[in-house]
């Protein structure tokens, strides 16, 4: 377990360094106005990613965790759903780019970055496939490769002094290559023949992935996938909407002062996503029906550990950012350091919220989790509407912290009542006993 989590952690560390390096190179190459506009468009495109995949990647973790190989009946219909939604969103982004045609540079950047919609959807689906197989090495490589490609693009833009359109064109090339790699990585899964971690391997494809008659009805598929896509939209609103709103109300130069700290925060938030979304979520789906002790241990020690880790990371981010941001991004971003210090207050809430949200997802309380995420998103939108016009980017940072705190409290109370209930919480001795029992199995 530690080796697998460590491998994912190293991969995400590479993703963090690569993503941060891309931001630095772009910030030092482009004007602050162009950089703010580029990151705002990328934020809008990123907001469409969970809609493009329509929750199918998370749905696969749920149904395969519950049904094993029988869940292959979901693959064909869910892929057709995700493909149709992705195509519609791609056309929508292209139409949005056409609206900027008087400004050919802005229109070109939007059109080129539309390819990122398809790439992110493909990456989410292929990532779930690797999780279901238990192939964490393949998952790590799949996640890291696109960011390394972006580093090469931004390095070329920086070295040659190229324009913002050239940067967007490079991102488009990386997106196309990502889609091709994801199709190759999921080929066996689409045929319905891939072995599944934690389930016996079928002697032959249990249910052919393309068998329409064996699959769920359209209403059943939509009902199962919709909560996931709504939850993902709410999650990404907290990451990207502040930058989008700042660009619209304050301009690209001010939006850049928020985009840089949010890039740091996005990198930090990869930690709980590695532990829960990429490693534990599929296992939690299996444990929910067969191993109550494991679920209680995840609640008691997993959530407390994530909050403690979040507090340590927040302190490091707040203090380190005061020195690192002007040094790395240049003197023009000196005013971004206080914004990052405010945003760091949200880190413990996000870490703790991710831990209990995974328990709600696997414990049959997905719709309640989505309702609370929607409440958190509404709090964020209302707070941004008040704070950004009044206090600028620092107001956006404060609004983000408030929304994270509200959401974490709601999720924690729901997990305590709905998942734990009256069950006695495990002690430290129980955790040690469990780990010592699992060690021989892992070896």
156 phi and psi, to 5 degrees? -65, -40
Q: What tokens appear for 329 in the block? A: 């991004």
Q: Write down the pLDDT at residue 213.
A: 44
203 phi and psi, to 5 degrees? -65, -30
Residue 202: DSSP 8-state:
P
Of 186, 230, 223, 229, nearest to 72 by C-alpha is 186
Give dist(CA 315, CA 326) in Å, integer.
Answer: 18
Q: Count of CB atoms within 10 A of residue 386's CB?
A: 11
For the chain, what are the domain ranges? 1-216, 227-438
What is the residue-level pLDDT of the chain in tens, covering all 443 positions? Answer: 566 666 666 666 777 778 778 888 888 888 877 887 788 788 778 777 767 888 888 888 888 877 778 888 888 899 998 899 889 888 888 887 777 667 778 888 888 888 888 998 898 899 888 888 877 788 888 888 888 898 899 999 888 888 888 999 999 999 999 999 999 988 888 888 788 776 666 555 555 544 444 678 888 888 888 888 787 777 777 766 787 788 778 777 787 788 888 878 877 887 787 677 666 666 676 676 666 777 777 777 778 888 998 999 999 999 988 888 888 777 878 888 899 999 999 999 999 888 888 888 766 677 888 888 889 889 998 999 899 888 888 898 999 999 999 999 998 888 888 777 777 776 667 666 766 665 555 44
What burial class does residue 298 get, using C-beta atoms within 10 Å of its C-beta: 0-12 exposed, 13-18 middle, 19+ buried? Answer: buried
Q: Write down the pLDDT at residue 210.
A: 47
CA 209 to each of CA 71, 182, 303, 366: distance values in angstroms, whole numbers, following the listed order: 9, 17, 37, 26
Give dist(CA 387, CA 160) in Å, integer.
Answer: 40
Instruction: Give the per-residue SS3 of 247-263.
Output: HHHHCHHHHHHHHHHHH
Give dist(CA 277, CA 282) in Å, integer.
Answer: 8
Q: Write down the pLDDT at residue 316.
A: 92
Q: Write down the pLDDT at residue 209.
A: 46
Residue 206: CA atoms inside 13 Å, Cβ hemisphere, count?
A: 19
């Amino acid at each position: 377990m530690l080796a697998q989590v460590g491998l994912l952690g190293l991969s995400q560390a590479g993703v963090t360094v690569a993503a941060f390096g891309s931001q630095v190179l772009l910030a030092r190459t482009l004007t602050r106005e162009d950089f703010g506009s580029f990151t705002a468009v990328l934020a809008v495109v990123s907001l469409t990613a969970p809609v493009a995949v329509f929750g199918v990647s998370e749905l696969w973790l749920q149904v395969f965790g519950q049904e094993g190989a029988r869940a292959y009946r979901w693959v064909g219909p869910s892929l057709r759903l995700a493909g149709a939604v992705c195509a519609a969103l791609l056309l929508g982004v292209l139409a949005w780019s056409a609206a900027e045609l008087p400004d050919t540079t802005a229109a070109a950047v939007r059109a080129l970055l539309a390819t990122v919609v398809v790439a992110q959807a493909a990456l989410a689906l292929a990532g779930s496939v690797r999780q279901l197989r238990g192939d964490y090495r393949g998952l790590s490589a799949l996640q890291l490769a696109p960011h390394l490609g972006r580093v090469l693009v931004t390095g070329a833009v920086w070295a040659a002094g190229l324009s913002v359109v050239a940067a967007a064109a490079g991102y488009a090339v990386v997106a196309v290559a990502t889609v091709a790699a994801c199709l190759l990585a999921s080929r066996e899964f689409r045929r319905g023949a891939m072995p599944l971690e934690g389930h016996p391997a079928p002697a032959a494809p249990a249910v052919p992935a393309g068998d329409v008659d064996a699959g769920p009805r359209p209403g059943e598929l939509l009902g199962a996938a919709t909560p996931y896509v709504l939850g993902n939209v709410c999650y990404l609103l907290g990451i990207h909407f502040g930058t989008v709103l700042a660009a619209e109300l304050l301009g690209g130069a001010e939006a850049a002062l928020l985009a840089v700290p949010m890039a740091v925060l996005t990198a930090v938030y990869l930690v709980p996503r590695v532990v829960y979304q990429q490693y534990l979520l599929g296992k939690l789906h299996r444990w929910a029906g067969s191993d109550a002790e494991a679920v209680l241990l995840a609640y008691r020690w997993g959530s407390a550990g994530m909050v403690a880790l979040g507090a340590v990371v927040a302190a490091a981010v707040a203090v380190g950012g005061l020195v690192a941001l002007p040094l790395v991004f240049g003197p023009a971003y000196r005013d971004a350091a206080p914004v990052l210090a405010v945003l760091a207050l949200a880190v413990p809430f996000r870490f703790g919220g991710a831990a209990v949200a995974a328990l709600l997802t696997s414990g049959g309380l997905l719709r309640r989790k989505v309702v609370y995420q929607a409440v958190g998103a509404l709090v964020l939108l209302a707070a941004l509407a008040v704070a950004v016009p009044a206090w600028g980017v620092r107001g956006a940072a404060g609004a983000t912290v408030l929304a994270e705190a509200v959401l974490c409290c709601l999720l924690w109370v729901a997990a305590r009542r709905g998942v734990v209930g009256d069950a006695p919480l495990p002690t430290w001795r129980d955790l040690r006993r469990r780990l010592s029992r699992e060690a021989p199995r892992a070896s």
